[in-house]
Amino acid sequence: MRGDSLRALGLLGAFLGVALAACTGTAGDGASNGLGSDGGTGGDAGSGSDGGDGGRPDGGSPDAGDAFLPWENPPQVYARFSHGPPSDPSFFPIAVWLQSPSNARAYADIGINTFIGLYQGPTDAQLAVLADAGVPALCDQAGVYASHLGDPAIQGWTQQDEPDNAQPDGQGGYGPCIDPTVIQGIYASFKANDPTRPVYLNLGQGVAWEGWYGRGSACAGRLDMYPQYEQGADIVSFDIYPLNETDASVKGHLWLVAVGVDRLRQGSNYSKPVWNWIETTGIDDPASTPTPAQIRAEVWMSLVHGSAGIGYFAHIFSPSFIEAGLLSEPAVKAGVKAINAEVTSLAPVLNTPSIGNAATVASQNSAVPVDVMVKRQAGALYVFAVAMRPGATHATFTLRGVDGGTATVIGESRTRAVVGGSFEDDFAADYAVHLYRVTF
């Protein structure tokens, strides 16, 4: 679930004294690569594409001139599966990876609603604990899965984690990545066993960082393989942890989370929900622990670029192993709880198509672009904005077809006046996030 997850999972298995059996499996600076956007400004909506026909926003008041951007419509995707994730627009997936079900209630208390991966499972005991906590899981078709096909505690099946990375060769070294056709074959087998749940596939940091050397020589830089991997899943995700990376080309580059989201969305032609993983701990070094503000920035960079689900990597491996590292850090735990409450409260808005022509943003500091996602719901216009580079800037938002109104800054107890069709705001902190609800 991290770029060097093979090593990390080996450490986990050593700690537990058993061999680990996997249960799960602008934005950028680089040149365009054919797989998808490298970022730039505009995010999911704004100064980029005019968009396509994403459909009318559920419960909203669409403007006749709205041009919707391509959209996966996650609630509609989930509705295809009678035992899949909820299709209610008020639901937004917020997950943790490979955590003990005994901590499910503690995670639910901070807004986690999904477990992904069950260590050496699923087992009857694991599923009973999750059911009691009200936190369902996506897990492998292994263990007792066949006797739980009607169990709502399972909402999806997980492919092998990070098949795009180099794989252990059984002799202490590594061989090539797994060919996408193998993943497609496993997908077909999973669907034959149970077509009532989606199949989930997580990919590695090579999605966002084409220079990632952990893919092996045969697969390194092969961005063309990712659309083929995506054919082996109904829900796809990836992980990259910029604050925990040591390579200078990635270290501190928070915006790479948005690069990966863009690439996977475009790789499936906007047909499959894309989730992604966010770092919450100093995985190998306490000094790399992200602040709550940095975690929030990575979350909103992902959402602004169209992520349909957020997962948190919660482990700490050094200086000592802590599986539920996220829960062990009071400030991070409180920050993640606040972020989850914010995202969940906005789920009915996030679960609508983005509008490509309702607003544009201009950043006064060209070195700090501001990306936006624009949605319309229940008669209000929502503008979600995040600074995509460190540093301060002042941003001007211009709204189409609007003269005056009020932009309420969600969660900040302040407003900005809309005058002559625009409003302004400061983005003073590194990677600042501001969420606006505009009424007229």
> d(Cα 162, Cα 267) in Å, to the nearest integer?
17
Average pLDDT score over the chain: 89
Q: What distances in angstroms separate CA 49 from CA 21, 44, 142, 201, one per listed residue? A: 43, 9, 43, 28
Whether residue 227 is predicted with pLDDT greater than 60 in this model: the reply is yes
Kindly state the average pLDDT of the residues 150-170: 96
**Residue 60 above 50 pLDDT?**
no
Please answer whether residues 427 and 434 qualify as being in contact, where contact means their C-beta atoms are separated by less than 8 angstroms.
yes
Q: How many structural domains is the chain composed of?
A: 1
- pLDDT at 108 (0 to 100): 98
319 upstream amide cis, omega within 30 of 0: yes
Instruction: Give the confidence band of 217 by pLDDT, cuts at 50, 70, 90.
Output: confident
Distance CA 157, CA 159 (A): 7
The confidence score (pLDDT) of residue 10 equals 40
20 pLDDT above the threshold of 60: no
Is pLDDT above 80 for 412?
Answer: yes
CA angle 353, 354, 355 (to 5 degrees): 120
60 part of a folded domain: no
| Residue 282: pLDDT over 50 | yes
And the tokens for 216? Answer: 């092996």
pLDDT higher at 13 or 320:
320
pLDDT at 105 over 90: yes
Using pLDDT thresholds of 50, 70 and 90, give the confidence band for residue 308. very high
Residue 128 belongs to some domain of the structure:
yes
Smallest Cα–Cα separation from 15: which of 326, 313, 279, 317?
Answer: 317
* Confidence band for 344, pLDDT divided at 50, 70 and 90: very high
Please check whether residue 319 is in contact with residue 286, taking contact to mean a CB–CB distance below 8 angstroms: yes
Strand partners of residue 360: 398
| Structural contact between residues 357 and 66, judged by C-beta atoms closer than 8 angstroms | yes
Query: In this structure, is residue 312 part of a structural domain?
Result: yes
Work out the end-to-end distance of the chain between its first and last CA atoms, rounded to an integer number of angstroms. Answer: 44
Whole domain around residue 244: which residue ranges? 5-36+73-350
- pLDDT at 42 exceeding the cut of 90: no
Specify the pLDDT at position 27: 63
Domain-located, residue 67: no
Is residue 415, in this structure, part of any structural domain at all?
no
Token pair in block for residue 294: 């940095």
3-class DSSP assignment, residue 349: helix
Residue 190 within a domain: yes
pLDDT for 54 beyond 60: no
As beta bridge partners, residue 376 has: 381
Range from 25-29, 68-72, 114-118, 137-141 carrying the lowest mean pLDDT? 25-29
CATH number at residue 302: 3.20.20.80
Percent of the chain with pLDDT over 70: 86
pLDDT grade for 377, boundaries at 50, 70 and 90: very high
Q: Could you tell me if residue 44 is inside a domain?
A: no
**133 occurs within a structural domain:** yes
The helices-and-strands tally (H runs, E runs) of the chain is 11, 18
User: What contacts 151, CB < 8 A, 6 or more positions away?
Assistant: 127, 131
pTM of the model as a whole:
0.90
**Section 40-58 average pLDDT:** 41
CB 364 within 8 A of CB 393: yes
Torsions phi, psi of 371, nearest 5?
A: -100, 145
What pLDDT does 26 receive? 54
